[in-house]
Amino acid sequence: MLSEQTAPRRIRSFIRRQGRITPGQELALANHWDTFCLDPEAECCFAEVFGRDAPTVLEIGFGNGESLAQMAADSPDTNFVGIEVHKPGVGHLLMLIEQLGLTNLRIYCHDAVEILERLIKDDSLEGIHLFFADPWPKKKHHKRRIVRPEFIHTVVKKLKPGGYFHAATDWENYAQHMLQVLNAEPELCNSSLTGDYCERPEYRPVTKFENRGLRLGHGVWDLIFIRK
């Protein structure tokens, strides 16, 4: 067996960029981190975290958190957990949690793949969202795309039977790549009536970035697969 020192490093699907943190985000990080951010080194029971046993949906890479906060506000009977590596986005979401008075949303500021593999129990999630992940459009960078067969194997294990994986992208090549990978997973079934892409469901808010792209004629592709 390879030792930790000699084992090959996993190729990450993101690059950490600190970015500029606004005074409001900095204040939210200082005041609300301990309340709403989960420890990436500690085991977690969502029933204990939220104080209730309810369906739990996980979003990977929530960006500035606006769509995730909207979904949590629209579905108070569902628990939401967001994962994001960039602190400005975490700070912005903490601001929204305070402004909207949300109690059904928690955050991991860490690598999503590590959280899934180490901390999320098998057969525990109602849904997993992956909206507008970095498409790594250059061919030499395709190996960095998060949607790969090994990632989808992990996704399947974490979903409850009947749970769903929902990905959305505005890059057609990435949509085709995801469709190929998801179709190859025997434990998933495509919910699309046409066998490829779905109409955007009402629960997924349209972001400002997405609206701008749609006005410019850019396409958006939604893929929703159900665990058998």
- Which residues belong to the active site? 134
Asked if residue 57 lies in contact with residue 83, where contact means CB atoms within 8 angstroms, the answer is: no
Q: Is 167 helix (H, G, I), strand (E, B) or coil?
A: strand
Residue 169 CA to residue 221 CA, distance in Å, equals 5
For residue 120, give both structure tokens.
């999320």
Compute φ and ψ for 197, nearest 5 degrees.
Answer: -110, 160
CA angle 38, 119, 127 (to 5 degrees): 90
Residue 31 CA to residue 11 CA, distance in Å, equals 34
- Kindly list the distances between the CA atom of residue 163 and the CA atoms of 95, 114, 157, 192, 214, in Å, as whole numbers in the listed order: 30, 21, 10, 15, 29
Angle between helices 149-158 and 172-183 (to 10 degrees): 60
| Cβ-proximal residues to 26 (8 Å cutoff; 6+ apart), any chain | 91
